[in-house]
Homo-oligomer: A and B are copies of this chain.
Amino acid sequence: MNTTPAEPADRERARAIPEAAVARLAVYLRVLSGMADQGVNAVSSEELSQAAGVNAAKLRKDLSYIGSYGTRGVGYDVEVLVSHIERILGLTRNHSVAVVGIGNLGHALANYGGFPGRGFPVTALFDVDADLVGIPVGGIPVSHIDDITAVCVEREVSIGVIATPPPAAQSVCDRLVSAGVQCILNFAPVVLQVPDNVEVRKVDLAVEMQILSFHVARRADEAAGVSVGNNGLGVDGMVIRP
């Protein structure tokens, strides 16, 4: 795997990209990679936006952040755009991943096809359970959490994934940070305290469910009252209750 750092111009651009656009770049990359695999050479912003589930104006704006503008009447060169987004996202390097907490979720993450496939090899697993220590999961033997610092330093782990129960998450996080891990993906439903130089992304399944609940409730309320639905034509304040 190539380890070329980003071009200076790309780096300047990377600093200005909004977080939400970074997430969409990752989605475009997945769609574009699929197109490249199928031998597609060029794609219009309309085609790409539809396949990515984003509107075309937003897509063009996102790609303008990275300095990709496409060609009128031709669209974007798929291979050029793939390698450009990969460079911006830092996918031309390998990022060693440690997963801490090898319960059901940790097992799923350790075996997750999406990590090693794109430059995120899982190189270390940790759990507190003595019965698990030494057992290979997805080909990697589980280490004890007391060894987080030593093992992460030795294996040059750059991304730590926390899949422990909530009470253990902060102390696990502290150990990862003391091993020099600067990026943490946290599945435990707690707010982690980290130094300024550490980036935390949270995946909170309870929050996702509650957001869905919000939409279920809104729909149910709308169905129970007069139609004040998503069409934007609803009559504010006119609510009839059975």
Contact = CB atoms under 8 A, between A and B. Distances in A.
Interface stretch (A25-33, A123-131, A171-179): A25-33
Nearest to A199: B215
Interface in A162-204: 182-183, 185, 189, 191, 196-197, 199, 201, 203-204
Interface in A11-68: 11-12, 14-15, 19, 22-23, 25-27, 29-31, 51-53
5 contacts: A23-B211, A26-B207, A52-B191, A104-B107, A185-B208
Contacts of A155: none
Nearest to A5: B221
Interface of A: 5-6, 8, 11-12, 14-15, 19, 22-23, 25-27, 29-31, 51-53, 88-91, 93, 95, 97, 103-105, 107-109, 111-112, 114-115, 117-120, 158-159, 182-183, 185, 189, 191, 196-197, 199, 201, 203-222, 224-225, 228, 230, 236-237, 239, 241
Contact of A114 (B158, B182, B209, B212): B209
A212 B118 CA distance: 13
Task: Report copies per complex.
Answer: 2
A196 to B, nearest CB: 7
Given A104-B104, A239-B11, A89 B159 contact: no
Max chain B C-beta neighbours (<10 A), residue from A29, A117, A205: A205
A179 to B, nearest CB: 14
A186 B189 CA distance: 19
